[in-house]
Amino acid sequence: MTMQKQWRQAKRLARQALAVSDRQIKSEQIRQRVVAEPAFQNAGRIACYLKMLGEVDADGIIQAAWKSTKKVYLPVVTERHKALVFAPFTTDSDLTKDYLGMSIPNVSPTLFCSPQWLDVVIMPLVAFDKDRNRIGQGGGFYDRTFAFKSDVSNSEHGLLKPVLIGVAFDVQRVIGTITTRDWDVRPDIIITETSRY
């Protein structure tokens, strides 16, 4: 088993081992830090997620975005090995499941938003290091979707949006350095209950 797989397995277990009450408290602390970020405050369109498998509960971030009249989107997996698209999510949205079992807004695909139109993306992490290298669930969806951010030639065309904010609990940080590959996309910011990287 590679170190990457070992870390993914260990940090999933560490995050799931947190007591529900601890997870709620830490998620609220993370929410406070995220909404204080200038990128969040200045954003008009924010993508977030609905938690699964012990992830940081981002519901408070979504509520804060709605309260400040931001447009909120959720990621949608349309096919394996494809980039994510983003569906509008409102207080009135009906939810359905995508083919991976994730809850998504039940809206027409004509309403999907391209990732380049987003201002901020709140993304869950499985593990991370002090240099903001990350380990995700292993599907590569965020890497494929935001590969354009790694292309330096895009910076002159204003395509460095959205700001990618990874959220995780302190227990998900690895001691050491996560080995990255050419296609790995690093969050611009990682926020935990106690720190900002």
Q: 86-93 long-range CB contacts below 8 Å, 24 or more apart?
A: 86/47, 86/112, 86/113, 86/114, 86/115, 86/118, 87/111, 87/112, 87/113, 88/113, 89/48, 89/62, 90/66, 91/66
Residue 92 falls inside a structural domain:
yes
By residue range, what is the domain housing residue 58?
Answer: 3-191
pLDDT in tens, 101-113: 889 999 999 999 9
Report whether pLDDT(190) > 80.
yes
CB-based contact 77:141 (threshold 8 Å): yes
Residue 196 falls inside a structural domain:
no
Token pair for 146: 């935001």
Residue 197 falls inside a structural domain:
no
Residue 83 falls inside a structural domain:
yes
Token pair for 177: 């350095």
Kindly report the CATH number assigned to the domain that includes residue 64: 3.40.50.10420
Report whether pLDDT(55) > 60.
yes
Residue 10 falls inside a structural domain:
yes
